Amino acid sequence: MGTVYLLALDFLAPHLPPVRDSNRDVQLLRAANLACQRHQAGISDRFLFNVYGACDQGQVAAALGSYGFPVLDLRFVGEDDELYCNDQGRVPWDMDKEDEIAEGLRRWVEDDHPGALPLAGPLVVGRDALEAYREVGWRWIGLEADGSEFDWPFDTGAFDKLLPCTHTRRAAIWLAVLQEGGDFNADDIECIPLEAFRAQTQAAALCEWLHRFEAGSGNGYNHFDPAEAAQALGMNGVLLGYEAAMAGGTPVDRIEEAEDESEARACVVLAVTQKYRTTVLSALMILGGDGALFFTLYASIWPKYDRRTDDAIDALLNLGEVAYGEIEAAWQFVSDGWHESVCAD
């Protein structure tokens, strides 16, 4: 499994085509060159250019197409013929303009790329090689699974159903992130039962963690069913018992209080997912740290298409539009890796 970037940018007609050798012109040339290099290496990042304002669409398409982005979706999202540049060379702010651009982006993401994760920026892994992308002020950045296969020791279709509703269509990208940020060897998984079991356990721990975030964020409840996860992912009962005994902790202590075999099995599974929670969180840090991970999770539930990613991050993390009390439980959950406020079912 691999990943590709989704990068969206908006243009206003009075600013097109970009002035030759201007900052924007150079940025686009460098980004297109990087995109071509990655495309030749088999990594086809996808780009959206939304153009707002009355213009000669053929001329604009030719100008933006000449940069050479290998996978480019160019869309004209509004034909306002009253746009103009003021004395400072800026186009005055206008609600209709912002709404049209936001709607164009929303359709591209939700209709064409529903399995993508919103990002705060490029992944930590390989970030230095993406400097040409990083210097562009993208309106929106996302990450999508590229469709390649990794031989997970479970039915990925079953994994989909274990995720909270917010992420059901994002199962492939979450597995890709887990793979890229983790330490998985396909040969070991195939040949060593304990390695296969640990891959299954990390997948279950990821599902549980995402469910807990849903509860902490106030978007839903913790619907993670440990026994169901163990069955769906094909966890070996003997290895479950072995790993639970090695892990110890509160879930194991609760086995004596279990009223039936199903409840006891759930305690065993939770003991094992608790053991691998830190491993999963370490893998997720390729998204860029606590703040970046929190933004990805929050924006997956409540996307902000009406502003640039940098502005959305600033408004969220610097409490520009939300009170700390509204996000406290979810933020503490991410920054601590776990928090008692979301532990109750």
Instruction: Answer yes or no: is pLDDT of 138 > 80.
Output: yes
Query: What is the distance between the alpha carbons of residues 334 and 341, in angstroms, rounded to a whole number?
Result: 12
Read out DSSP for 185-229?
-HHHHHH-HHHHHHHHHHHHHHHHHHHHHHHHHTSS-----HHHH
Instruction: Answer yes or no: is pLDDT of 89 > 60.
Output: no
Tokens 């160019």 locate to 74
Give the number of other Cβ atoms within 10 Å of residue 127's Cβ: 14
The segment with the largest mean pLDDT, out of 125-134, 237-246, 295-304, is: 295-304
CA angle 319, 322, 328 (to 5 degrees): 80
Task: Please report, for the chain, how many H helices and E strands are present, in that order.
Answer: 16, 5
* Residue 306 confidence (pLDDT): 92
> 345: pLDDT confidence band, cut at 50, 70 and 90?
very low
Instruction: Answer yes or no: is pLDDT of 343 > 60.
Output: no
Query: Which residue did the predictor score with more confidence, 3 or 124?
Result: 3
pLDDT digits (tens, 9 = 90+) for 331-340: 999 998 876 6
* Residue 165 confidence (pLDDT): 95
> 8: pLDDT confidence band, cut at 50, 70 and 90?
very high
Reduced to 3 states (helix: H, G, I; strand: E, B; else coil), residue 117 is strand
Handedness of CA 129, 278, 240, 173 (dihedral sign): negative
> 253: pLDDT confidence band, cut at 50, 70 and 90?
low
Mean pLDDT over 231-259 rounds to 80
* Residue 64 confidence (pLDDT): 96
Reduced to 3 states (helix: H, G, I; strand: E, B; else coil), residue 307 is coil
pLDDT digits (tens, 9 = 90+) for 256-308: 676 777 788 888 899 899 989 999 999 999 999 999 999 999 999 999 999 99
Give the number of other Cβ atoms within 10 Å of residue 126's Cβ: 10
Burial class (CB in 10 A: 0-12, 13-18, 19+), 19: exposed
For the chain, the first-to-last Cα distance in angstroms comes to: 33
Lowest-confidence range among 79-83, 98-102, 163-167, 279-283? 79-83
